[in-house]
Chains A and B, each alone.
Chain A
């Protein structure tokens, strides 16, 4: 993952461009918010012009999107603002159309945008992972204290998508009017946010208004936080969100990363010692026996739906 630190950025400050890639058709316009320059995954504000129709088809990338303004028809279903979709790679959506036009936030997670016309799912698609929901109408706001230490009261969330292996998540969050939180935070994960409505303030970056966006790599200070009139936004992380709170505005990314490791050493000293002493350098991380142990049924299924079998005789080594 190599998206640069884009913060703050407001999509209202730039113009839409026509999408030139094949498959999207005429009337699909976009503003690039952030882009991984290695694999092409990206987040875009997208405008469907009135009358736009996208034929049935799938993306080679995993895709998430939410309707920001207006409404779209997905097949024969009308989906208004706040409707969220998680679409696995290769999952063929029916025709998408809009009469009056719509604004959407499109997040291509694993590759560049693509739309292959097809009435059928790709044979490799993990179709069981697809889900969509009316986030405004069908999910209640929950307190933001899902994690500890937690945000101050007045910041609430709606969980939209969760990866049980990595704890990566997609969520709506809101701040009530006059919300404030006097600490500085950083995380061990990358974090992304887009303001659907309203303005929030962060001590490093100033105001983030409607259409405001950030892609923040790990260990970067953000906060204190405030919102005078309140705001609602969509947020994502690429792994577990842990709030490392402090009050030193001048700490650097390197210092924050070291502090995270130091806190791990204090909290889980035995595990930390094992990691350090074994210099475990396997690119996929240490082995989890639940992923590799022989099973009566042969190939096994992960919690996230992936299915495969393992063997340890493929010649790769774990230690140098």
Chain B
């Protein structure tokens, strides 16, 4: 995040480089754990998607704010072949 883009350059001390390497390694492990946890949620998520489609047909899709548009069954997307991922 660079909200105002302020930064003051400095020579990075060795201890900081080492700390960053360790943190990046731990982040890689956290990321792998999240990917596995989200993969394990696949079946539940498919059910959530099915319930979502039912609500779209019955109550509508939030197109803008509280404005809802009913989606007909034939307008709903078809699930593509292949793996579905939610974490990139």
Contacts and interface: CB of A to CB of B under 8 A. Distances in A.
Nearest to A109: B1
A5 B88 contact: yes
B4 A88 contact: yes
A89 B7 CA distance: 5
A309 interface: no
Interface string B18-62: 011001101100110010001001001100110011011001111
User: For chain A, what secondary structure do more than half of its interface residues adopt (helix, strand, loop), or is it mixed?
Assistant: loop
Contact of A8 (B2, B34, B62, B77): B34
Contacts, number: 169
A264 interface: no
A234 B65 CA distance: 21
Interface in A124-176: 124-126, 129, 145, 148-153, 161, 163, 166, 168-170
A35 B20 CA distance: 9
B10 A60 contact: yes
A56 B52 CA distance: 52
A221 B86 contact: yes
B60 to A, nearest CB: 7
B20 to A, nearest CB: 5
A233 interface: no
B17 to A, nearest CB: 9
Contacts of A37: 20, 24, 27
A124 B16 CA distance: 22
A182 B55 contact: yes
A149 B65 CA distance: 7
Contacts of A192: 1
Contact of A20 (B15, B64, B71): B15
A203 B51 CA distance: 10
Interface stretch (A97-105, A244-252, A274-282): A244-252
A188 interface: no
Nearest to A129: B4
Contact of A34 (B19, B27, B48, B60): B27
A16 interface: no
Interface of B: 1-10, 12-13, 15-16, 19-20, 23-24, 26-27, 30-31, 34, 38, 41, 44-45, 48-49, 52-53, 55-56, 59-66, 68, 71, 76-77, 79-80, 84, 86-88
26 contacts: A4-B31, A9-B30, A20-B15, A22-B13, A60-B10, A62-B6, A88-B4, A110-B5, A112-B20, A145-B65, A150-B64, A168-B1, A182-B52, A182-B68, A183-B62, A203-B48, A203-B52, A217-B88, A221-B86, A238-B3, A245-B61, A245-B63, A245-B64, A248-B77, A251-B77, A304-B5
Given A206-B41, A249-B49, 17 more contacts: A8-B34, A41-B2, A60-B10, A88-B4, A161-B3, A168-B2, A168-B3, A182-B55, A221-B86, A238-B1, A238-B3, A245-B61, A245-B63, A247-B71, A250-B84, A304-B4, A305-B4
